[in-house]
Chains A and B, each alone.
Chain A
Amino acid sequence: QQQVKQSPQSLIVQKGGIPIINCAYENTAFDYFPWYQQFPGKGPALLIAIRPDVSEKKEGRFTISFNKSAKQFSLHIMDSQPGDSATYFCAAGVGGATNKLIFGTGTLLAVQP
């Protein structure tokens, strides 16, 4: 119940394409869903996050779509660039005292020039 399932494991798109990464969860207590970007040898950096009271959130070229009934959420990267090539992790957490995040398995994205 604590798992967050992420797909695909890897993804290759052409520059300008729109990669989509999907995540699914079971625990209905989760109320915070962030996406992180990680470059090799570096810590994850927060990209964008959403809470269950909205179905979509946009920040720059990054969009999260959230489907509460299906317990799924996804990341869309508009007009992808080679510099977006990285590993992307979704996560889910419960607010309050613990603030603990459960991470998905990661998606390695390659954006080809």
Chain B
Amino acid sequence: GAVVSQHPSRVICKSGTSVKIECRSLDFQATTMFWYRQFPKQSLMLMATSNEGSKATYEQGVEKDKFLINHASLTLSTLTVTSAHPEDSSFYICSATQARGLTEAFFGQGTRLTVV
């Protein structure tokens, strides 16, 4: 199947700083990328949907000014957690779909963010 690479796999940052997570589709063009957040032993909660070249669509309750999403190319989307706090510590996962109309989503390996 298609490969989605996420980087970094783990990051520790200090409270108040910002951290950027990258999501790349390695062997296909991803018209749409999704960002999820997962707490321990819980399900994946969709944070936002990003389409290449347009603004991300955020789910209800997700602060768009805190979680900045950029999808500048067909192979790269980034999530920046701004002014991070300990409660932002979580497992962040991206996924990508190959084309509009298809629903097969391929997931990255996730990023474990710890804010200290």
Q: Which residues of A contact B (CB under 8 A)?
A: 32, 34, 36, 41-46, 49, 89, 93-106, 108
Contact = CB atoms under 8 A, between A and B. Distances in A.
Contact of B101 (A42, A89, A96, A100): A96
Interface in B31-55: 32, 34, 41-46, 49
B32 A99 contact: yes
Interface in B80-107: 93, 95, 97, 100-107
Point out which of A89, A94, A99, A108 has the most chain B C-beta atoms below 10 A from its C-beta. A99
Name B's interface SS.
strand
Point out which of A98, A102, A108 has the most chain B C-beta atoms below 10 A from its C-beta. A98
Contact of A100 (B4, B49, B110): B49
Contacts of A106: 41-43
A10 to B, nearest CB: 10
Contacts of A34: 103-105
Task: Give chain B's interface residue range (CB within 8 Å of chain A).
Answer: 20 to 34
A41 to B, nearest CB: 7
A99 to B, nearest CB: 5
B44 A103 contact: yes
A106 B1 CA distance: 23
Contacts of A97: 100-101
A48 to B, nearest CB: 11
A103 to B, nearest CB: 5
B110 A95 contact: no
B104 A105 contact: no
A46 B110 contact: no
A108 B93 CA distance: 19
Contact of A43 (B1, B97, B108): B108
A44 B46 contact: no
Contact of B105 (A42, A46, A94): A46
17 contacts: A36-B107, A41-B112, A42-B109, A43-B95, A44-B44, A44-B93, A46-B105, A46-B106, A46-B107, A49-B103, A49-B104, A95-B101, A99-B97, A99-B105, A101-B95, A102-B46, A104-B43
Given A43-B6, A89-B43, A100 B100 contact: no
